[in-house]
Structure 1
Amino acid sequence: MIRVLVVDDHPIVRAGIVGLLDTESDVEVVGEAASGEEAVSLATELEPAVVLMDLRMPGIGGVEATGRIVRLDGPRVLVFTTYEDDDQILAAIEAGASGYLVKAAPAEELAAGVRAVAAGQTVLAPSIAAQLVARASTPRKAAPELTPREHEILALVAAGLSNPAIAERLFIGESTVKTHLIHVFEKLNVGDRTRAVTRAMELGILN
């Protein structure tokens, strides 16, 4: 079962999200939080696999709460919000969120996103990915040069494949995949897979 903590300051919205997830046989909602502080506290106490995080809440917001939860080195954060502002998106991803979905998404997209994030994959709503691509089309500094293999692996990460799946697809060892990704992180000056993908989109390396 995928243990999920739902974070949203609107009780009705929160109840609706819980109701949707409760219909999934492989998902268990283990807690609900109405603020960033409560989210951090419950994430520490309940050790969920995925924290479904709203952004704008009283007290510390979703971005700061995301950063604190990611530093627990256990739960992964999937932002689920109505906001599609560029700065909010990048701030959440830079804080360590593993994905970003909007509340207008179909129910099946939410469930699929939870499963993907729990499996270590990156999830971006199509509208969010489109914004990052548009942002990438603005004037920018020269992008760092990736090797063909690094680009190939990063593209597969963007497609949602895990390291083992990439290794199997390319007929290489998982350790080799990790080594290439370390080089990609260094070139893009990022610290994780999600930010590598969004940074590559910003720079026009991926589209």
Structure 2
Amino acid sequence: MRPTVAVVDDASLIRESVGLLMTDLDVVAAVATVEELVRRRPEADLVVLDLHLANLEQQPDVRQGIAAIRTLTTSGYRVCVYSQEERRFVLAACIAAGACGVVSKALPTARAQQLFLEAAAGGTVVPQAVVGILEVLVRRDCITLLSERQRQLLHGRARGLSYAQVAKQLYVSESTLRGYWLDLTRSLSESLRNLTPGEIERALGLAPGDLLEFWSGEATDGKDWWRTAEPR
């Protein structure tokens, strides 16, 4: 049975094309705003959410960004962000806010569909930029729950090594490694949600207050939280 997916995107082309191009997904709703989805309350295994929803002149009050993720997760949905956003702290803030993954709109359709399937099945899809942040947090003991083998795996993936390359280094099969990675990313994502901006700033060597515009504990209305420049 195909997983059920709801799409929230203010671009009609995206809303109409996901179901046509990603045929392994069963799109049960395709709407322009989070408010409309919550009003309809469709049953879905996953919500595919664009971060940049509002046309500020036509829809100044719709929820987007962190606020949209929170609204959907509070309503019981698994959320996977689908966006052109590339700034690493914005992507990490999405995970910290409760999203189970982030998928780039720049990816080929088949790859994006594969990642949505993983997220709908209970997996966690962490982009490479966020993996790098997590590896720094682990290395500086801001996240301490990992075993030595898990740290080695994270270290390799943070440096862009393929599953095959890391599997060879650790003397395990690639399929076993993928299972480790699934558990590892889920655990790290949960840990990230429990960290404060201050803890992360200290670990990453940022100035106090640099993350307040990004992190889920501080962003409230979500209207323009991503517009602040990324911390230096």
Structure 2 length as normaliser, TM-score?
0.57
Distance of aligned partners of 1:140 and 1:153 in 2 relative to their CA distance in 1, 3 Å threshold: closer
Equivalent residue letter for 2:108: P
Q: Which has the higher contact order (CA 8 A, sep 6+)?
A: 2
Aligned twin of 1:123: 125
Q: Per the alignment, in what secondary structure is the counterpart of residue 29 of structure 1?
A: strand
1:105 equivalenced with 2:107 (yes/no)? yes
Per-residue deviation at 1:169? 4.8
Per-residue deviation at 1:33? 1.2
Per-residue deviation at 1:152? 7.0
Distance of aligned partners of 1:149 and 1:185 in 2 relative to their CA distance in 1, 3 Å threshold: farther
Aligned twin of 1:6: 7
Contact preservation (8 Å) 1:40, 1:65: no
Q: Which runs of 5+ in 2 are unaligned?
A: 55-61, 164-174, 178-182, 195-199, 205-232
Contact preservation (8 Å) 2:135, 2:154: no
1:54 equivalenced with 2:46 (yes/no)? no
Distance of aligned partners of 1:117 and 1:140 in 2 relative to their CA distance in 1, 3 Å threshold: closer
Moved over 6 A (4+): 136-141, 152-155
Contact preservation (8 Å) 2:80, 2:102: yes
Equivalent residue letter for 1:82: Q
Per-residue deviation at 1:40? 2.9
Q: Per the alignment, in what secondary structure is the counterpart of residue 98 of structure 2?
A: coil
Q: Which runs of 5+ in 1 are unaligned?
A: 160-167, 171-176, 192-198
Per-residue deviation at 1:14? 1.9
Per-residue deviation at 1:148? 2.5
Aligned twin of 1:147: 147
In structure 2, how many angstroms separate the alpha carbons of the residues matched to 1:102 and 1:109? 10
Contact preservation (8 Å) 1:36, 1:62: no
Structure 1 or 2: larger helix share? 1
Per-residue deviation at 1:56? 1.0
Q: Per the alignment, in what secondary structure is the counterpart of residue 10 of structure 2?
A: coil
In structure 1, how many angstroms separate the alpha carbons of the residues matched to 2:192 and 2:32? 34
Distance of aligned partners of 1:90 and 1:31 in 2 relative to their CA distance in 1, 3 Å threshold: same
Per-residue deviation at 1:63? 2.6
Residue 31 (structure 1) aligned to one of 29, 32, 36: 29
Distance of aligned partners of 1:15 and 1:189 in 2 relative to their CA distance in 1, 3 Å threshold: closer
CA RMSD of aligned residues (A): 4.0
In structure 2, how many angstroms separate the alpha carbons of the residues matched to 1:121 and 1:107? 19
Structure 1 length as normaliser, TM-score?
0.63
In structure 2, how many angstroms separate the alpha carbons of the residues matched to 1:72 and 1:38? 13
Aligned twin of 1:91: 93
How many residue pairs are counted as aligned between the two chains?
167
In structure 2, how many angstroms separate the alpha carbons of the residues matched to 1:99 and 1:55? 12
In structure 1, how many angstroms separate the alpha carbons of the residues matched to 2:153 and 2:137? 26
Per-residue deviation at 1:47? 1.6
In structure 1, how many angstroms separate the alpha carbons of the residues matched to 2:154 and 2:39? 34
Contact preservation (8 Å) 2:97, 2:193: no
1:64 equivalenced with 2:67 (yes/no)? yes
Aligned-residue identity in percent? 28
Equivalent residue letter for 1:6: V
After superposition, what is the alpha-carbon deviation per residue over 1:98-139, rounded to whole angstroms, capped at 9, x for unaligned? 111111110111210121011111113xxx413652x56889
Contact preservation (8 Å) 1:5, 1:50: yes
Q: Per the alignment, in what secondary structure is the counterpart of residue 99 of structure 2?
A: coil
Once the two structures are superposed, the pairs formed by residues 163-178 of structure 1 within 5 Å of their partners are 169=176
In structure 2, how many angstroms separate the alpha carbons of the residues matched to 1:2 and 1:68? 22
